Amino acid sequence: MTTSTEATPVRPEALVVGASGITGSALVDHLLSLGWRVTALSRRPLARDGVRTVAADLRDPASLDAALAGERPTHVFFTAWQRQETEAENIRVNGGMVRDLLAALSNAPLEHVALVTGLKHYLGPFEAYAAGVVPDTPFHEEEPRLDVPNFYYAQEDELFAAAERQGFTWSVHRSHTVIGHAVGNAMNMGLTLAVQATLAKELDLDFVFPGSAAQWDGLTDMTDAGLLAEHMVWAATSPEGADEAFNVVDGDVFRWRWMWPRLAAHLGVDPARVVGYADGPRPLEEQMAPHEHAWAGIAERHGLVEPDVTRLASWWHTDADLGREMEVVTDMGKSREAGFTGYRRTDRAFADLFDRYRADRLVP
Ligand SMILES: NC(=O)c1ccc[n+]([C@@H]2O[C@H](COP(=O)([O-])OP(=O)(O)OC[C@H]3O[C@@H](n4cnc5c(N)ncnc54)[C@H](OP(=O)(O)O)[C@@H]3O)[C@@H](O)[C@H]2O)c1
């Protein structure tokens, strides 16, 4: 029986920053499934039932102050980013977005802020990718920072400083390549490969692995966006997650030479048209350039919802990930020891995702 002296538990309220992105939209789904109150922030308002939407530009502090003045989130999940031409600009813009968002929430009852970053923490930024001394694989969280400027370090530093000032706990989530459901976002390997397979089937092309021998033959792993969402919410609500950085990957390892024909089968590609690594990388940016113009007609023929292929495929990013000249594997021991036991089987995660793209008429 409830008595008048018992405190009413505060229902947690989440602010998902970057809610329309590949990570943010998975977080919104997961938080809603757990019964949280969710507010979604991005520039383009999120079309989603059950969510309050805040349209604001993280690069405009005045817009943020105005949009967030009445907000009272207890938990912030920061997943926004904007790719810039140089790492110096990445640091200025993406570090600034974390700083200004948290400053605009200085009067909110914040308990925890979770920030998603990635393995470039260990590999270095795009412009110096795996160029310097990279730690040995599998990557462990306690590795010291690389001696190269990196926007993830800048975002972490803004997070740590605000946590100190404003009195909340924090967590950092270092994901590998994220696969999930989003359109018009910067980096989306799942949708990119689904579009490649569709173009191959429709235009009678081979389905050619674009990457390096090291990726084709070596061990690697991946991060399902749904698992990443579970990991962020776990850290945000568990004492073991407070003030810690964690790697976050599915929990299995695979070789692309094993995965590529399986993905092709999930995508309905004729096994005779599946081509693996041979004699060097064949980047999708070059493979697909002559064929991209065909997408609008394919979309019309099959009643697809997005005729603009550039909003679906991020060839550059899949080329960068699959073109790495080194093995990239990630240790999950720290999360498991702390109590996070979530897991995905990566080929199943890909298959489920492709089913969802088909159901949403993104691919035939
Ligand atoms: N995707 C991957 O494979 C991957 C892998 C490893 C690490 N990561 C890291 O994970 C983090 C999240 O990436 P993601 O791929 O999930 O991002 P994403 O899908 O590109 O989504 C970015 C989100 O941020 C919002 N946004 C961007 N600029 C904004 C601004 N000025 N104001 C307000 N909202 C803004 C976008 O919405 P609007 O455009 O509507 O504003 C969108 O909701 C990044 O640090 C990324 O480097 C991603």
**Tokens representing residue 239 in the block:** 């004492």
Structure tokens at 155: 């975002």
Element (H or E) spanning 337, and its range? Answer: helix 333-338
Ligand 1 pocket residue status of 44, Cβ below 6 Å = yes
| Nearest CA owner, ligand 1 atom 18 | 21
CA 153 to centroid of ligand 1, rounded, Å: 16
Query: Does the Cβ of 267 fall within 6 Å of ligand 1?
Result: no
Backbone angles phi, psi at 34, to 5 degrees: -90, -5
Cα–Cα distance, 38 to 16 (Å, whole number) = 7
List the structure tokens of 98: 């974390």
The count of C-alpha atoms lying within 13 angstroms of the C-alpha of 59, restricted to the half-sphere facing its C-beta, is 12
Cα angle value 63/65/70 (rounded, 5°): 120
- pLDDT at residue 46 in the model: 86
Residue 5's pLDDT is 44
> What type of residue is 208?
V
Which residue lies with its CA nearest to atom 45 of ligand 1?
117
CA distances from 117 to 52, 69, 80, 98, 159 (A): 25, 27, 10, 12, 12
d(CA 364, CA 354): 10
Tens place of pLDDT per residue across the chain (364 aa)? 334 445 555 679 999 999 999 999 999 999 999 999 999 999 998 888 999 999 999 999 999 999 999 999 999 999 999 999 999 999 999 999 999 999 999 999 999 999 999 999 999 998 887 777 889 999 999 999 999 999 999 999 999 999 999 999 999 999 999 999 999 998 999 999 999 999 999 999 999 999 999 999 999 999 999 999 999 999 999 999 999 999 999 999 999 999 999 999 999 999 999 999 999 999 999 999 999 999 999 999 999 999 999 999 999 999 999 999 999 999 999 999 999 999 999 999 999 999 999 999 999 9
How confident is the model at residue 321, as a pLDDT?
Answer: 95
CA dist 86 to 41, 127, 223, 285, Å?
26, 7, 26, 20
Q: Which residues contact 197 (CB under 8 A, 6 or more apart)?
A: 207, 263, 264, 267, 268, 269, 363
Sequence-ordered alpha helix ranges (H) in 93-209: 96-104, 120-123, 151-166, 189-203
Distance CA 193, CA 195 (A): 5
CB of 59 within 6 A of ligand 1: the answer is: yes
| Start-to-end Cα distance in the chain | 55
Which pLDDT value is given to residue 47? 83
DSSP H or E run through 220: strand 219-220
Residue closest to 170 by CA, chosen among 77, 255, 94, 266: 77
Query: Annotated catalytic, 152?
Result: yes
* 3-state SS, residue 283: coil
How many Å lie between the centroid of ligand 1 and the Cα of residue 202? 31
- Going by alpha carbons, the residue nearest to atom 19 of ligand 1 is 21
Nearest ligand 1 atom, CA 23: 16
So what's the pLDDT on residue 3?
42
pTM for this predicted structure: 0.96
CB 168 within 8 A of CB 111: yes
Would you say the CB of residue 80 lies under 6 angstroms from ligand 1? yes
Ligand 1 atom with least separation from CA of 187: 1
